[in-house]
């Protein structure tokens, strides 16, 4: 009897142990978080991802360039006329835009290139109309304030050249505050405000007068080089250099007439460069020692197109 009891007890103990083990395994499988024994290790399954097509690169929106108009402005360089070129938002009234820009004066970059203005600060355009080939300009009395005969002439020359740069304008009439400003008797001011053309102001053209390109021009190849000159035999040199001073092209330019007369010149210049900016340098050479004379340096940028 004792042996049978012992055997039955052993079998009961074995059953309880197996049940206990199975229960523990079940708790582990359920993720017991009571801080008990560590869960039984689980099988590791390796999944190989299926390659997917690379997403298309996102293309940044391209800004649409705004239409622009190039205007030419005539300032002073050493008491003589010098041109600048600016790009302004496209307008149906380019003459008005040009004159307003002229009255505002040269930009910092244009000043760095040696350009100044005889027009007093604060002068604003009161009105501009075009009658046939004549531009009628109304300016405030401040336009002639505090000036000498020479400074008045410089101011008028700037206005006349800026407006007659447009092919349909041949002459300019200037009034002051609608004609309300009185001009002192005996003053030459009244005469120089009357109908004026470029022929009245040739004395303000420098020996080599480059009208295009002007300071700040954006050049692409080829570009037009034109203006007037009054130099020996009408011949002078033009060099295009990059910002580092490396020569891109040199051209001998011939005007239609030589000094003491004045002749017009026009030629096209081709070049190639990866530089972003540079300068056009024009000069005549002394017949005695070959030194440069009448040198003018015109900063430009190069088009990336």
Residue 65: predicted pLDDT: 67
Closest Cα to residue 202, out of 284, 112, 108, 80?
A: 80
Average pLDDT over residues 141-164: 91
Q: How many CB atoms lie within 10 A of CB 165?
A: 20
| Residue located via tokens 């402005």 | 73
| pLDDT tier at 40, thresholds 50, 70, 90 | very low
Q: Which domains does the chain have, with CATH numbers?
A: 68-204 (no CATH), 208-302 (2.60.40.10)
Lowest mean pLDDT among 18-22, 55-59, 60-64, 128-132: 18-22
For 268, residues 6+ apart whose C-beta sits below 8 A from its C-beta are 222, 223, 224, 225
Does the structure show a pLDDT above 70 at 207? yes
Buried (b) or exposed (e) across 1-33, using 16+ Cβ within 10 A? eeeeeeeeeeeeeeeeeeeeeeeeeeebeeeee
Q: Which residues of 77-90 are buried (b: 16+ CB within 10 A; e: fewer)?
A: beeebbbbbbeeee
Beta-carbon contacts of residue 119 (< 8 Å; ≥ 6 apart):
102, 103, 105, 143, 155, 158
Q: In this structure, what token pair is assigned to residue 217?
A: 């021009």
Q: Which residue in 144, 103, 156 sits closest to 126, CA to CA?
A: 103
Please tell me the predicted confidence (pLDDT) of residue 63: 62
Give bridge partners of residue 218 from the DSSP assignment.
Answer: 301
pLDDT over 70 at 52, yes or no = no
Q: For tokens 């040198």, what's the residue?
A: 295
pTM of the model: 0.77
pLDDT band at 149 (very low <50, low <70, confident <90, very high): confident
- Give pLDDT tens digits for 255-291: 999 999 999 999 999 999 999 999 999 999 988 888 9
| Angle, CA 18 vertex, CA 12 and CA 20 arms, to 5° | 100
Q: What is the pLDDT of residue 47?
A: 41
Q: Poorest-confidence range of 77-91, 110-124, 163-177, 183-197?
A: 183-197
pLDDT (0 to 100) of residue 193: 86
CA dist 248 → 32, 130, 147, 217 (Å): 82, 42, 43, 17
């Amino acid at each position: 009897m004792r042996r049978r009891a012992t055997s039955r007890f052993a079998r009961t103990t074995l059953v309880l142990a197996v049940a206990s083990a199975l229960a523990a395994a079940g708790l582990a499988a359920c993720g017991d978080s009571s801080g008990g024994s560590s869960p039984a290790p689980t099988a590791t399954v390796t999944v190989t991802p299926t390659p997917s097509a690379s997403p298309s690169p996102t293309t940044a929106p391209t800004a649409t360039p705004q239409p622009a108009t190039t205007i030419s402005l005539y300032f002073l360089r050493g008491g003589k006329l010098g041109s600048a070129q600016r790009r302004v938002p496209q307008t149906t009234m380019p003459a008005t835009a040009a004159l307003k820009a002229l009255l505002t004066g040269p930009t910092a970059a244009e000043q760095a290139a040696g350009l100044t203005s005889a027009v007093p600060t604060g002068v604003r355009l009161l009105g501009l109309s075009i009658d046939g080939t004549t531009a009628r300009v109304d300016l405030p009395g401040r336009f002639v304030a505090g000036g000498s005969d020479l400074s008045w002439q410089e101011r008028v020359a700037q206005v006349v050249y800026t407006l007659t740069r447009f092919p349909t304008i041949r002459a300019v009439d200037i009034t002051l505050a609608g004609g309300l400003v009185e001009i002192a008797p005996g003053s030459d001011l009244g005469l120089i405000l009357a109908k004026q053309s470029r022929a009245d102001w040739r004395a303000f053209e420098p020996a080599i007068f480059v009208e295009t390109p002007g300071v700040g021009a954006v050049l692409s190849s080829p570009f037009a080089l034109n203006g007037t000159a009054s130099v020996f035999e009408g011949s002078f040199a033009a060099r295009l250099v990059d910002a580092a001073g490396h020569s891109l092209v040199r051209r001998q330019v011939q005007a239609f007439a030589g000094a003491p007369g004045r002749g017009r010149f026009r030629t096209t210049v081709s070049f190639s460069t990866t530089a972003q900016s540079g300068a056009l340098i024009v000069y005549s050479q002394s017949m005695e020692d070959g030194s440069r004379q009448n040198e003018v340096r015109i900063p430009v940028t190069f088009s990336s197109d």
